[in-house]
């Protein structure tokens, strides 16, 4: 066994693939080793020699046999659904806030041209009419704050509804969703809260965290206005609401506190999504808050999730499905869709706000 890698006495997790399945060899400080295959619901206590063989990529016959016996008990992936056509729209690359980590660096002039928006809407409606459930899903999540060009925003929302509700359209269901900063007053709150089916409101935590991460354009506080928007949506809106909190190296240790703060401030009736900061866009500039340590993030997320359960709040993260097994991460891979950038570029990803990474065409 001299050619086998040593198995450390320190806690460690070694990942390997066996017969297309993700497996782990977990080693503890007590020199105990476990072979874990989550999709087979299989966990085996193995010896040091067996652990070394597995880490080296050699699967003992006994392990392979146990995996085969566990196949009938395997967790089945959630089914892929293609019942709707999805359209992502970008209206602007500008914003009312100056978030320190903005992936789109949203402070640029320019608006989407109406002929392009009209063309995208018409194309998406035709595609939606061909889906099994004749459903159209539209999200406003490309680039800057969608509500900033208010007249264009209202016109777009109303046009989507008028086209899909027209007697000549066979679209049976239309869902509108939006990611918004919530930095606006009652008139906008009333319209948004009634017109949308799903809203994701960006709110990173208690006032000091929110104002550090997401100041307004002059560098001042944004918390009070955004919190008032959240309260309005919960009391008067018809949309399903989710709070999205970006987690930085500064805020990672306060995730449970953030859940408790939201519960104290807003009660129940929404989900909380904690997303780790991704160092792209403005987050690459000197002086920006950094991404969290992912090991600490994982521990804090699990604690925050437990706090949420105690308080009646669902706490999630997009990068991990802890309640079911899925065979995909990005909806663009399984849902017929496209996103339209301001310049007319068609892209597969709504975060690709200029179509540089996933653009594959141009709408005219």
List of residues 6+ apart from 285 with CB closer than 8 A: none
- In a domain, residue 53? The reply is yes
Name the band, by pLDDT with cuts 50, 70 and 90, for residue 348.
Answer: confident
DSSP 279: -
What is the per-residue pLDDT for 2? 47
In the chain, the number of structural domains is 2
Q: Where are the alpha helices (DSSP H) in the chain?
A: 48-55, 61-70, 114-128, 150-165, 186-195, 207-213, 223-236, 255-266, 294-311
Considering only 3-12, 82-91, 96-105, 257-266, which range has the smallest mean pLDDT? 3-12
Do 319 and 182 lie in one domain? The reply is yes
Do 90 and 69 lie in one domain? The reply is no
pLDDT of 322 over the 80 cut: no
Do 34 and 108 lie in one domain? The reply is no
Q: What is the CA radius of gyration of the chain?
A: 24
Name the band, by pLDDT with cuts 50, 70 and 90, for residue 363.
Answer: confident
Work out the average pLDDT over 185-191.
Answer: 98
What is the per-residue pLDDT for 327? 67
Closest CA to 92 of 102, 79, 107: 107
Work out the average pLDDT over 214-238.
Answer: 97
List of residues 6+ apart from 86 with CB closer than 8 A: 137, 138, 139, 331, 335, 336, 337
Name the band, by pLDDT with cuts 50, 70 and 90, for residue 109.
Answer: confident
Considering only 104-108, 166-170, 236-240, which range has the smallest mean pLDDT? 104-108
* Percent above pLDDT 90 for the chain: 73
Q: How far apart are CA 200 and CA 179, in angstroms?
A: 5
pLDDT tens digits, residue range 272-291?
Answer: 999 999 998 898 888 889 99
Q: How far apart are CA 311 and CA 263, in angstroms?
A: 7
pLDDT of 332 over the 80 cut: no
pLDDT tens digits, residue range 18-62?
Answer: 988 999 999 887 778 999 999 898 999 999 999 999 999 999 999
Domain closes at, from 73, 93, 124: 73
- In a domain, residue 133? The reply is yes
Tokens in use for 65? 């046999």
pTM of the model: 0.82
Do 46 and 96 lie in one domain? The reply is no
Do 206 and 344 lie in one domain? The reply is yes
pLDDT tens digits, residue range 119-132?
Answer: 999 999 999 999 99
> How many alpha carbons fall within 13 Å on the CB side of residue 321?
10
Considering only 23-37, 158-172, 346-360, which range has the smallest mean pLDDT? 346-360
Do 255 and 280 lie in one domain? The reply is yes
Do 228 and 88 lie in one domain? The reply is yes
Q: Strand pairing of 271-276 and 314-316?
A: parallel
What is the per-residue pLDDT for 1? 44
Do 38 and 95 lie in one domain? The reply is no
- In a domain, residue 42? The reply is yes
- In a domain, residue 1? The reply is no
Average per-residue pLDDT for the chain: 91
Q: How far apart are CA 281 and CA 54, in angstroms?
A: 41
- Which residues span the domain enclosing 35? 12-73
Give the CATH number of the domain where residue 154 resides: 3.20.20.70
What is the per-residue pLDDT for 288? 86
Domain closes at, from 40, 73, 106: 73
């Amino acid at each position: 066994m001299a050619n086998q890698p040593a198995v450390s006495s320190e806690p460690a997790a070694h990942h390997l693939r066996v017969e297309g399945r993700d497996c782990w060899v977990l080693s503890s400080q007590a020199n105990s080793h476990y072979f874990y295959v989550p999709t087979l619901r299989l966990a085996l206590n193995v010896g040091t020699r067996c652990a070394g063989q597995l880490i080296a990529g050699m699967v003992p016959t006994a392990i392979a046999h146990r995996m085969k016996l566990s196949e009938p008990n395997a967790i089945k992936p959630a089914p892929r659904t293609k019942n709707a056509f999805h359209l992502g729209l970008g209206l602007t690359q500008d914003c009312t806030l100056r978030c320190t980590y903005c992936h789109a660096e949203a402070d640029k002039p320019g608006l989407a041209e109406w002929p392009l928006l009209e063309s995208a809407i018409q194309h998406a409606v035709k595609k939606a009419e061909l889906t099994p459930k004749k459903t159209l899903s539209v999200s406003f999540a490309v680039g800057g704050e969608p509500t900033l060009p208010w007249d264009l925003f209202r016109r777009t929302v109303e046009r989507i509804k008028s086209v899909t509700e027209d007697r000549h359209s066979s679209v049976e269901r239309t869902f509108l969703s939006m990611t918004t900063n919530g930095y606006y007053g009652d008139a906008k709150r009333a319209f948004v809260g009634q017109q949308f089916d799903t809203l994701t409101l960006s709110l990173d935590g208690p006032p000091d965290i929110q104002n550090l991460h997401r100041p307004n354009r002059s560098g001042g506080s944004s918390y009070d206005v955004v919190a008032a928007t959240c309260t309005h949506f919960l009391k008067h809106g018809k949309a399903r609401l989710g709070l999205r909190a970006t987690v930085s190296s500064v805020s990672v240790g306060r995730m449970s506190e953030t859940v408790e703060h939201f519960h104290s401030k807003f009660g129940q009736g929404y989900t909380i999504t904690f997303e780790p900061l991704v160092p792209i866009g403005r987050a690459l500039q000197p002086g920006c808050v950094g991404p969290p340590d992912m090991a600490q993030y994982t521990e804090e997320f699990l604690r925050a999730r437990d706090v949420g359960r105690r308080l009646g709040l669902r706490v999630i993260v997009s990068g991990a499905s802890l309640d079911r097994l899925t065979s995909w991460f990005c909806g663009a891979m399984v849902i017929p869709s496209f996103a339209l950038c301001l310049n007319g570029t068609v892209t597969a990803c709504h975060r690709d706000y200029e179509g540089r990474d996933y653009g594959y065409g141009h709408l005219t």
